[in-house]
Amino acid sequence: MARLPEGTLMQRAAAGLAAAVLDLLGSAYGRRVLLLVGSGDNGGDALFAGALLARRGVAVEAWLLSSRAHEGGLAALLRAGGRRVDRPSRRPEVVLDGIVGIGGRGGLRSEAADALKLLHGVPVVAVDAPSGVDVDTGEVDGDHVEAAVTVTFGTRKVCHLVDPAAQACGAVHLVDIGLTLPEPAVEALQPEDVAALLPRPGLESQKYARGVVGVRAGSAEYPGAALLSVSGANTGLCGMVRYVGEEAVAHTVREQHPEVVGAGRVQAWVVGSGGGEHAGDELRAALEHGVPVVADADALSHVEPGQAAVLTPHAGELAAMLDEERDDVEARPLHFARLAAERYDAVVLLKGRRTVIARPDGRTRVNTTGPSWLATAGAGDVLGGLVGALLAAGLPAYDAASVGAWLHGAAATLASDGGPITASEVALAVPEVVREVLG
């Protein structure tokens, strides 16, 4: 801001906002837009965007929810033909949320909450972040905006990635306004990042050099867990998969996956899915090999700090591990994933709509791939196998968990094609996703 003429960044932001509103409306002349304006710079962004829209023939009204408003922005709006109102004169077609900026904390004040209730059902475009969410944690406490579109500037913020706030953002549109940015608190891998991290065989590779993953999962009661864990591991990401378990289950695994072999040397273990009462014994047996372990499902209740490389709980399992309530974990996934990673000295992959992957030192990634259809039985078993294969292939635990989650979600999107899927179909789609990513 010190290097640029005053107001330059705000004008760039306003131009991006106006373009997003017009894109949502589909046309300009005669359309109706209402600005909900607070006292901060977000209110200024909204007012200058309103001025640009008014010049295009949009009927723009500004409802000021504070005794203070950005003077330059309000003057620009009035000069362009916009109006200041105490309440909208007509029902708008789009609301532009400039109530609270990225420094806001807690829910909305009563005046703003009442205004939103009056406008219920009208699509909202949020300026930088939906007002009322916690931008830095992704948490929600009280009334907040539910946006159809969020236009943010420079970079995505934590609230755009982490639930529950991410659910309030709608489609997130990023506008580059020329900011110099610090290192991010949270990352989200993109396809080019995954391509750079994926292990791939060289010309001289052989199956053992590519890594061998062992799976200790399933039981007579839950044989499907073994099949699905092996399916995730056996997607070609490493050189070999070994299965160790009850003979009847192992026979079923070999029937479905004839390339899978039995006990022997491995570079990583996947333990726990469907293991039932034997999961603790299987975990102890895996730990004896001194290689990285992915602990999932039934093994999570037996794992001690420093034992496993990757833990893959859902919210209920993590709540039990931390002696917390599930509702609290779901309300604060970023906080509790980081807490568990530090407490258990392991990478924690907290499964959810937006899966959070945290390291013990606090570094965090959020996975944004995957359709809602991925909430299906056995999907977590496949994910554990994927992560184990990537560990065996040589990726560090943080990268293996992050890339595994990304591939898992992308494969689900490919397999789903907009409709229902099963966990088995997710595993089958992984090789095609890898081919597309590596291009």
Task: Take residue 356 and report the two structure tokens written for it.
Answer: 């959070």
> Which positions ≥6 away from 244 have C-beta within 8 Å?
214, 215, 216, 250, 262, 263, 285
Task: Take residue 256 and report the two structure tokens written for it.
Answer: 């479905």
Q: Is 97 annotated as a binding residue?
A: no
Q: Is 233 annotated as a binding residue?
A: no
Residue 148 burial class via C-beta count within 10 angstroms: exposed 0-12, middle 13-18, buried 19 and up: middle
H helix or E strand, kind and range, residue 133: none
Q: Is 354 annotated as a binding residue?
A: yes
Report residue 102: phi and psi, to 5°: -75, -10
> Which positions ≥6 away from 346 have C-beta within 8 Å?
303, 305, 306, 307, 308, 309, 310, 311, 360, 397
Angle between helices 223-233 and 379-392 (to 10 degrees): 40
Q: Is 298 annotated as a binding residue?
A: no
Q: Is 211 annotated as a binding residue?
A: no
Query: Which of 122, 43, 130, 120 lies closest to 84 in space, CA to CA?
Result: 43
Q: Is 353 annotated as a binding residue?
A: yes
Q: Indicate if the alpha-carbon torsion angle 60, 66, 71, 72 is positive or negative.
A: negative
Q: Is 380 annotated as a binding residue?
A: yes
Q: Is 225 annotated as a binding residue?
A: yes
Residue 149 Cα distances to 20, 122, 158, 299, 376, angstroms: 8, 12, 16, 41, 28
Q: Which residue positions form the known binding site for AMP?
A: 351-355, 380
Q: Which residue positions form the known binding site for (6S)-NADPHX?
A: 225, 274, 314, 381
Q: Which residue positions form the known binding site?
A: 225, 274, 314, 351-355, 380-381
